[in-house]
């Protein structure tokens, strides 16, 4: 079942192309790592899927709807959540933010919303911290709270932008283990700067460097992972070049990088 369908997408900021001719089909319960150089368009792609940006050309459909109409089905954890650690807000209040109706300036949280918030925290094994101040938690614990906030509306797709930036190595392994469990129930797209760390958890990879090049798990090699880190926005994606070389050796047609 197709969850996300992106076709012939172009996007530019102030006339400067950021994404060109992007095509991607995301199926139910995919777990895709989105990699590429800084400035290559990874975060922009997530914002387009969220409906926060509008393509200059092409289309995006989420569950056969526009991103704006399907927004209730999308959970999102941005890269940087500006929040002072001294701000006196509790964990459950953070999660309840996911229940706020943007059409209403002031709304009281119902008992049902609190139950949903506690259930989302429980899924991330953070229910015991519900009344703790967010600033007292570790980086990994805070990120689990932010994911709980994204889960409180029970989305079918979860978008994560560099979710392990402030998590230590030990915490990262635990974090990815939890994502793997969530992937049994929902589709996950995750921007990451470190494919070496996530390669044993994700099912496929999309390299974004203005254009998007999709690679299924069978095509990921150690050489590709190492070469990816030398890729810059001014260059052709090195992972794509290596993928084409591999394709020629096995005699496959690799012209279409979407997966259907």
Summarised one tens digit per residue, pLDDT across range 68-122 is: 999 989 999 998 776 666 778 999 999 999 987 655 554 556 889 999 999 999 9
Distance CA 203, CA 115 (A): 33
Residues 170, 190: contact at Cβ < 8 Å? Answer: no
Pick the more confident residue, 184 or 248.
184
Pick the more confident residue, 66 or 196.
66
Sheet holding 187-191, edge to edge: 74-77, 157-161, 187-191, 31-35, 204-209, 211-216
Q: Mean pLDDT over residues 193-220, rounded?
A: 80
Residues 149, 76: contact at Cβ < 8 Å? Answer: no
Pick the more confident residue, 38 or 26.
26
- Closest by CA to 96, choosing from 85, 109, 83, 79, is 109
Residues 102, 185: contact at Cβ < 8 Å? Answer: no
**Residue 255, Cβ neighbours under 10 Å: how many?**
7
Task: Identify the residue whose tokens are 């911290």.
Answer: 129
Please, which pLDDT band fits residue 55 given cuts at 50, 70 and 90? very high
CATH number (3.40.50.300, 3.90.1150.10, 3.40.1190.20, 3.40.50.720) of 2-83+156-250 reads: 3.40.50.300
DSSP string, 6-75: EEEEEEEETTEEEEEEEEEEEETT-EEEEE--TTSSHHHHHHHHHTSS--SEEEEEETTB-TTTTGGGEE
**Residue 174, Cβ neighbours under 10 Å: how many?**
12
Q: Mean pLDDT over residues 125-138, rounded?
A: 93
- Please state which of the ranges 5-9, 43-47, 145-149, 231-235 shows the lowest mean pLDDT: 231-235
Describe the crossing of helices 139-151 and 169-182 by its angle, rounded to 10 degrees: 20
Mean pLDDT of the chain: 82
Residues 98, 153: contact at Cβ < 8 Å? Answer: yes
Q: Mean pLDDT over residues 175-199, rounded?
A: 88
């Amino acid at each position: 079942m197709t969850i996300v369908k992106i076709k012939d997408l172009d996007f530019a900021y102030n006339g400067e192309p950021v994404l060109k001719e992007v095509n991607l089909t995301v199926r139910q319960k995919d777990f895709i790592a989105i990699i590429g150089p800084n400035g290559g368009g990874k975060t922009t792609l997530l914002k387009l899927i969220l409906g926060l940006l509008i393509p200059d050309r092409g289309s995006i459909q989420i569950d056969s709807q526009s991103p704006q109409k399907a927004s209730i089905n999308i959970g999102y954890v941005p890269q940087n959540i500006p929040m002072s650690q001294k701000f006196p807000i509790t964990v459950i209040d953070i999660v309840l933010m996911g229940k706020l109706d943007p059409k209403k300036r002031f709304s009281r949280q119902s008992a049902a919303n609190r139950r949903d918030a506690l259930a989302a925290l429980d899924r991330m094994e953070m229910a015991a911290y519900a009344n703790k101040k967010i600033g007292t938690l570790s980086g990994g614990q805070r990120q689990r709270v932010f994911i709980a906030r994204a889960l409180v509306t029970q989305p079918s797709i979860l978008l994560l932008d560099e979710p392990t930036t402030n998590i230590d190595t030990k915490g990262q392994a635990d974090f990815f283990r939890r994502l793997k469990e969530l992937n049994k129930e929902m589709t996950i797209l995750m921007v990451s700067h470190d494919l070496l760390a996530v390669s044993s958890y994700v099912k496929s990879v999309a390299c974004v460097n203005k254009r998007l090049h999709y690679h299924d798990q069978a095509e990921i090699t150690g050489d590709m992972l190492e070469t990816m880190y030398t890729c810059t926005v001014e260059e052709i994606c090195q992972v794509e070049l290596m993928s084409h070389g591999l394709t020629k050796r096995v005699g496959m047609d690799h012209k279409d990088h979407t997966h259907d």
